Amino acid sequence: MELRHIKCFIAVADRKGFREASRFLHVAQGAISRTVTNLEEEIGVKLFDRSGKTLNLSPEGEVFYAGAKKILEQSAHAVTAVQQFARARAHSINIGFCSMSTVAFLPDIIKKFKAKFPEVDLNLLDFTAKEQEAALAEGKIDVGFMRAMSPEKTTEFNVRSLYKQSLLAVVPKSRELKGDMLDLQDLVDERFIFLPRVAGSHLHDGIAQLFSHYGFSPTVNSKPENLHVLLAMVAAEQGVSILPACVLTSRADGVRFVPLMDDHVQVETVMAWQRQTASPSLRSFLELIEEYRDFIAFKTSAGEMIRAYQTH
């Protein structure tokens, strides 16, 4: 049974005849008659009483008519709902982001985009990389800014590298330094404070790679749930940490951010979106990101972030 069968049946029932239904639907009378006959054969009952001059519903037809009207109403409602959703989606973008890795550039990008497309709503959702991967797969966000995805995930989405950053040592401000840089070997006896792996596996793996290069495993003192607690613990001389240069946006009191002499390990930030066709608004947003790639690279460079940190 198809929706067109139901539409023909209701038109005939409402107008009590094939000719009137034909005029209403702009369909040949013979085609409508065949459609109704096919419907009756499929259901196995006669829907109309054809014994009189006027075409009336049979008792079975009355029952079917009530259900058929509901089907048409629900169908119309579904069409309206999906059209409204499509219009809203075309004029809104749900953006996932990791605050520490995007604060240097994303606010400026948002302002530039809103200046060009004031009618588009931008909804910002602060998620970890793992949460963004799930949100992208479920359609809860349209685009995400996160640490590099795991290799198996990169095949599921469109992924564009935005920038890479060196790692910094985070030490208490009270610590005396011999120079402007630290050798990781100087921290071999320290207790370390790291964010949990769930907050960013790519960052965790990069730090592990750095320690492996120096041939020692850090003594982990704690794994606080968020960056602010981590920095407070370092300021309280409860340990030291290793974090990417974007941590310089945190403006934490009581800590020093010190470049490492060996900066061969870098952590990457990427932009990811679904492989399916992007909405016009999302395409415009992606094009703006492409236009400002050099700006993003400059704002997230370690040198610029250190300069901005020292200025403030």
| DSSP class per residue in 207-226 | HHHHHHHHT---EEEE--SS
- φ/ψ (deg, to 5) at 56: -115, 155
pTM of the prediction?
Answer: 0.66
Class of domain 95-312: alpha beta
Q: 165-200 as b/e, with b when 16 or more CB fall inside 10 Å?
A: bbbbbbbbeeeeeeeeebebeebeebebbbbeeebb
Q: Name every residue whose Cβ is closer than 8 Å to that of residue 256 and which is 6 or more positions away in sequence.
A: 170, 171, 172, 173, 175, 177
Rounded CA separation 265/245 (Å): 12
CA distance 295 to 293: 5
Fold exhibited by the domain 3-89:
Arc Repressor Mutant, subunit A (1.10.10)
Report the greatest alpha carbon distance in the chain: 107
End-to-end CA distance of the chain: 70
Nearest to 123 by CA among 93, 88, 144, 83: 93
> In angstroms, rounded to a whole number, what is the distance separating the alpha carbons of residues 32 and 12?
8
Confidence at 107, pLDDT banded by 50, 70, 90: very high
Residue 9, token pair as written in the block: 């049946």
Over the stretch 148-172, which tens digit does the pLDDT of each residue have?
Answer: 877 777 788 999 999 998 889 999 9
Phi, psi of 217 (to 5 degrees): -105, 135
Of the two residues 202 and 222, the one the predictor is more confident about is: 222
Judged against a pLDDT cut of 80, whether residue 302 lies above it is answered with no
Read off the pLDDT band of 230 (50, 70, 90): very high
In this prediction, residues 195-215 reach a mean pLDDT of 80
Helix (H, G, I), strand (E, B), or coil: what is residue 88? Answer: helix
Could you state, in order of their start, the residue ranges of all structural domains in the chain?
3-89, 95-312
Burial of 122 (0-12, 13-18, 19+ CB in 10 A): middle
Residue 178: CA count within 13 A, CB half-sphere: 5
Q: Is the torsion defined by CA of 101, 199, 122, 274 positive or negative?
A: positive
